Each structure stands twice: as structure tokens, then as C-alpha cells.
Amino acid sequence: MVNSITIEISEEGDIVVARQKGRSIAKNLGFSVVDQCRIATGISELARNIFLYASTGLIMILTLIENNRMGLEIIAKDMGPGIPDIKLAMLDGYSTSNGLGMGLPGTKRLMDEFEIISETGAGTEIIVRKWLN
Ligand SMILES: Nc1ncnc2c1ncn2[C@@H]1O[C@H](COP(=O)(O)OP(=O)(O)OP(=O)(O)O)[C@@H](O)[C@H]1O
Ligand SMILES: [Mg+2]
């Protein structure tokens, strides 16, 4: 890790802030415009879930250097209700809020690595990574 920023999510406008920060960091690292968009969209979905389901939380964006490659890691962390059934939450179309149920599975498809750690009543941490190729 060489660099990191943290964006607090507590109001709807923070979702846009996180999205824009992510895009600009991705651009500076050298990601293609398409990948910048993928990264920005993933951040936006994770931040929106924090706002919707946990009210408040954090988006951390970290620059990764590993062996000979660079990448971006996004950590979305909240102390909300948690996700009782992660398999269910990862299904296309599953939503407890009448949403499209595409945020988590869509983000997984947009990124290279995707991991959810969640405990009912304790909160949720989602870690995603995208590598520069
Ligand atoms: N941070 C979170 N805390 C608690 N539950 C969450 C969190 N993020 C997602 N979930 C649960 O997982 C479900 C699926 O999330 P996902 O983002 O895929 O769909 P959605 O938010 O319902 O709809 P969409 O994102 O397509 O508008 C949510 O409906 C919610 O029940
Ligand atoms: Mg969502």
C-alpha cells in the first residue's frame, strides 16, 4: 500500500463524492476510461448500500503495489445490521428494499476480486480490488 483515502458516508451526496474520488484516483493510476467507470460504479454501489442499509459507514480507497503490478482496493465498511445470508444477497435480483438487486453481483462482475465479511447485528465489510494490466 502506498496511499489511501477515507470518505465518510452519512448523507446521499457522499456517494457522489466517493464515486468521483475513486474515478480520479483510478485515472491517476493509469486505468483505462472503461476501468475508471467500472471502479467508480462499484464504489457508488457499495456507498449507496451503506447509506441505504446501514445509514453511515466508510469507503476507503487504497493504492496497491504487489510484485510487479498496481491496483486499487476499495473497502466499504459499516456497523449496520449486517447481511444475514450473503449467498442470497449475491443473487441477481435479490433486494430487501425493492431495488434491482444488482448492486453487489454487478460490482463483483466489474471488479477482479470481491469479498464480503458480515455479521448480523455487527456490520459489513466488503473488500474489492481491481488490478492494472
Ligand atoms: N451494507 C449492507 N448492510 C446490510 N445489508 C446490505 C448491505 N449491502 C447490501 N445489503 C443487502 O443485500 C441486498 C442486495 O444488495 P444489492 O446492492 O445487490 O441490491 P439492492 O441494494 O437491493 O438493489 P440495487 O443495488 O440494485 O439498487 C440488499 O437488498 C440488502 O438486503
Ligand atoms: Mg445496492
Domain boundaries, the chain: 3-131
pLDDT tens readout for residues 32-64: 999 999 999 999 999 999 999 999 999 999 999
Cα dist from 47 to 17, 67, 68, 70, 132, whole Å = 10, 30, 30, 23, 23
Q: Is the CB of 67 under 6 A from ligand 1?
A: no
Q: What is the identity of the amino acid at 94?
A: Y
Tell me the β-bridge partners of 61: 5, 74
Residue nearest to atom 16 of ligand 1 (CA): 103
What is the homologous superfamily of the domain 3-131 according to CATH? Histidine kinase-like ATPase, C-terminal domain (3.30.565.10)
pTM score over 0.85: yes
Q: Has residue 2 got a pLDDT over 90? A: no
Q: What is the pLDDT of residues 60-118, one digit of tens each?
A: 999 999 888 999 999 999 999 999 999 999 999 999 999 999 999 999 999 999 999 99
Q: Is 46 in the pocket of ligand 1 (CB under 6 A)?
A: no
